[in-house]
Structure 1
Amino acid sequence: MQLSFGAFIAGVLIGTRGRQIRRLYLLPPTAVVNGSQAGTRQVVVQALTNIRNRAYVAPLEECNMRWGQDASKLSVEMPGVRGPFSISLGAKNTVDGEELPMGPAKEEIFKLWYGEALARKVRGEEGWKQLP
């Protein structure tokens, strides 16, 4: 009984660690033909439990990023994967090759994911407008 309880606790711990993102890559479209982009952007997620070169890959259009449970977290949902992944941001984060603090890192991640205009809407910067 103790062995099965220990195995259960180990499984729960490994399962929750499998939801934490170690690395997140946003890849450009797969091919560029005659100056125009063909294909879709891809999201590559490497969780803490992924070994070596293993990762989850999905088209960006089918994935969703949201605010996390607190100010230091973001949530990523991918098709075909049960449950969302979680990104924990700290004091120093590397985004697009730059080391950024938590606030600017969050803003840059949303810009890269959604684009400038849509990122403002998602972050809630486009609110009520005053009419003349």
Structure 2
Amino acid sequence: MNQRGHSKVSASQTETKPSESQKTIQHERTIDAFEPQYFDDVINQFLEQKIKLTDIQQARDLQLEWLNKMPMHTESEIRRLDLGEWSIYWAFYQQSFEYYVSRYGIFCTHIDRNGNEQKIKIEIDPVS
């Protein structure tokens, strides 16, 4: 017992089994061979356009436009951050792309199908 009168129990001393409602259901899906390449190709097209979107009000339109071009099981999220910063994040299994907008510029980070990370900064015009 510790100073407060509570017993200490180590993880090896207790065994808990998940209830039926806690069991995780795993879905297996076969990825077509072209899908990882396709995700990378869409991201490369996005980067070639050097999109300079700084208004979060337009983020949803940008997100949907590019999400519709990506493989079916791509997930996406718009995040509002501190100091007026925001990002759009797309993920396809182990691959991802983030379009991060801050007052210092737009930062893009892409993790490709081989696990390589590519970072790009897009300069934005200063607000007058």
TM-score normalised according to structure 1 size: 0.25
**Higher strand fraction: Structure 1 or Structure 2?**
1
TM-score normalised according to structure 2 size: 0.25
